[in-house]
């Protein structure tokens, strides 16, 4: 069993698949703290978790124009490069896929709303490591930075992805080679001993168990860069899909969801009031500037209170948690609670799923809807 070496996991996680391990926390846990505890942070593995010896581990950084590669030990990454910290939210492209699946079946893990989490990551800046390997900004032919994971399938194929070179080389994008998550050693499930964190960019490019970095003219040729993690029109099906026509997902669109109350529950209401909670985030460093909440299916709206750390404009990598406490609408026994977020580019979420449905069930960011009954 190639999964025999997988680490133990918290029993509260909701398991989507055991082998490979894919799980999300109960949604209400996400809004209990601004920083998602490591044990409850969603885990998305395509392959068995590799067991890597931190003492003999070496990161290979491909050399410039055929010059020899740089090999860096974990110790060198920690001591030869300044330690940077970044608070960043990581979201899987398949977060909220189950809502797409409910409209029309899609292929993929049936994620709820919790394939997302917020953590404080620490490590060396990718830019510093690339500079040490001889690269500079605006390098001719340098268009992409590829990351190869050390997790492999039985045929020996490893996980891989790439990001644009200019993002990797810009210190404003805060791309880190991470060895610490929330002040702890990077956990096995999250890429020990080293992963890349690309703030504002889809989870799939944040390669774990990082073995090799390559600068290239081409994007990564991996399955997950070329033939997966792309968006399509609702009209495209598995007979007609051509993966070469859509760009690989990088920055994610604006997102929000309701974590409390849970769908189908009975809401008591304290002093005739209801409290609704959730998260909101947008890709590309765009800050969430507002969250609107409706208790009546979208006829009237309330503005939620946002909480979260102050972030540099254009570098808002972390989510906002939000709360709304408001009087329960009189004479209603059923509530249809909705939320929608607005980011700093005034991007808004689409109101329904059907027009953004796609065969892989990615980029599911329609208004989140939760129906509850009111206790009388």
Binding piece for ligand MTE, criterion CB under 6 A, among 35-43, 54-62, 265-273, 319-327:
35-43
Which residue lies nearer to ligand MTE by CB, 20 or 308? 20
Our finding on whether 41 is near ligand MTE (CB under 6 A) is: yes
Q: Which residue is nearest to Mo ion (CB)?
A: 92
* β-bridge mates for residue 326, sequence order: 274
Give the number of other CB atoms < 10 A from CB of residue 75: 11
From the CB of 200, what's the least distance to ligand MTE, in Å? 14
CA R_g for the chain: 21
Our finding on whether 27 is near ligand MTE (CB under 6 A) is: no
Kindly state the tokens that stand for 246. Answer: 């859509």
- What is the sign of the dihedral through the CA atoms of 219, 223, 224 and 228? positive
Residue in the block written with tokens 């290979």? 60
Q: Which chain residues interact with Mo ion by CB under 5 A? A: 44, 92, 203-204
From the CB of 183, what's the least distance to ligand MTE, in Å? 16
- Which one of 81, 135, 159, 179 is in contact with ligand MTE (CB under 6 A)? 159
Kindly state the tokens that stand for 285. Answer: 């460093």
From the CB of 329, what's the least distance to ligand MTE, in Å? 38
* Residue 58 contacts which entry, Mo ion, ligand MTE, none (Cβ below 5-8 A, type-dependent): none
Our finding on whether 149 is near ligand MTE (CB under 6 A) is: yes
Q: Which of 178, 232, 229 is nearest to 204 (CA)?
A: 229
Which residue lies nearer to ligand MTE by CB, 151 or 219? 151
Burial class (CB in 10 A: 0-12, 13-18, 19+), 180: middle
- Which one of 96, 144, 208, 340 is in contact with ligand MTE (CB under 6 A)? 208
Our finding on whether 45 is near ligand MTE (CB under 6 A) is: yes
* Residue 151 contacts which entry, ligand MTE, Mo ion, none (Cβ below 5-8 A, type-dependent): ligand MTE
Our finding on whether 200 is near ligand MTE (CB under 6 A) is: no
Q: Contact, 31 vs 257, CB < 8 A?
A: no
Binding piece for ligand MTE, criterion CB under 6 A, among 36-44, 59-67, 282-290, 361-369:
36-44
Q: Taking CB under 6 A as the rule, which mask of x and - marks residues 55-94 in contact with ligand MTE?
A: -----------------------------------x-x--
From the CB of 360, what's the least distance to ligand MTE, in Å? 12
Give the CA dihedral 227, 232, 234, 237, nearest 10 degrees.
-30
Which residue lies nearer to ligand MTE by CB, 47 or 372? 47
* β-bridge mates for residue 280, sequence order: 256, 320
Q: Contact, 309 vs 275, CB < 8 A?
A: no
Which residue lies nearer to Mo ion by CB, 92 or 295? 92
Sheet holding 334-343, edge to edge: 266-267, 368-374, 334-343, 288-294, 302-303
| 3-state secondary structure at position 285 | coil
- Which one of 207, 249, 254, 366 is in contact with ligand MTE (CB under 6 A)? 207
Our finding on whether 135 is near ligand MTE (CB under 6 A) is: no
From the CB of 222, what's the least distance to ligand MTE, in Å? 10
Q: Contact, 277 vs 321, CB < 8 A?
A: yes
Binding piece for ligand MTE, criterion CB under 6 A, among 126-134, 203-211, 300-308, 360-368:
203-211
Q: How far apart are CA 374 and CA 351, in angstroms?
A: 24
Kindly state the tokens that stand for 147. Answer: 């990351």
Q: Contact, 357 vs 373, CB < 8 A?
A: no
H/E run at residue 123: strand 116-125
Which residue lies nearer to ligand MTE by CB, 160 or 261? 160
| Pairing assessment for the beta strands 176-181 and 184-185 based on DSSP bridges | antiparallel
Residues of the shown chain interacting with ligand MTE in the complex, contacts defined by CB under 6 A: 41-47, 90, 92, 149, 151, 159, 189-190, 203-204, 206-209
């Amino acid at each position: 069993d190639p999964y025999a070496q997988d680490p133990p996991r918290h029993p509260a996680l909701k398991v989507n698949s055991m082998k490979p391990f894919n799980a999300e926390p109960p949604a209400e846990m996400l809004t209990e703290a601004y920083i998602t505890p490591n044990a409850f942070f969603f885990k998305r593995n395509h392959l068995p978790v590799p067991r890597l010896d931190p003492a003999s581990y070496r990161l290979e950084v491909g050399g410039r124009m055929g010059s020899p590669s740089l090999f860096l030990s974990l110790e060198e990454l920690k001591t030869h490069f300044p330690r940077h910290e970044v608070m960043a939210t990581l979201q899987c492209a398949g977060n909220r896929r189950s809502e797409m699946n409910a409209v029309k079946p899609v292929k993929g893990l049936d994620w709820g709303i919790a394939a997302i989490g917020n953590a404080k990551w620490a490590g060396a800046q990718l830019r510093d490591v690339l500079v040490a390997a001889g690269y500079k900004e605006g390098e001719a032919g340098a268009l992409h930075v590829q990351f190869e994971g050390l997790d492999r399938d039985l045929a020996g194929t490893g996980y891989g992805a790439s990001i644009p070179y200019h993002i990797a080389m810009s210190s404003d994008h805060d791309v880190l080679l991470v060895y610490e998550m929330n002040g702890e050693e990077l956990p096995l499930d999250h890429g020990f001993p080293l992963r890349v964190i690309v703030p504002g960019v889809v989870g799939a490019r944040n390669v774990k168990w990082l073995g090799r970095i390559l600068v290239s003219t081409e994007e990564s040729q991996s399955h997950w860069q070329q033939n997966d993690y792309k968006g399509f029109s609702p009209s495209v099906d598995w007979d007609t899909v051509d993966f070469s026509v859509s760009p690989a997902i990088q920055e994610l669109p604006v997102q929000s969801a309701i974590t409390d109350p849970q769908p189908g529950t009975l809401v008591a209401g304290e002093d005739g009031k209801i409290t609704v909670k959730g998260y909101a985030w947008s890709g590309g460093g765009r800050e969430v500037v507002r969250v609107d909440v409706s208790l009546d299916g979208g006829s009237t709206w309330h503005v939620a209170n946002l909480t979260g750390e102050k972030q540099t404009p254009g570098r808002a990598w972390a989510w906002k948690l939000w709360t709304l406490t408001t009087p329960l609408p009189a004479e209603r026994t059923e509530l249809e609670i909705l939320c929608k977020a607005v980011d700093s580019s005034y991007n808004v979420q689409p109101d329904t799923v059907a027009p953004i449905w796609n065969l892989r069930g990615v980029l599911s960011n329609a208004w989140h809807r939760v129906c509850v009954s009111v206790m009388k």
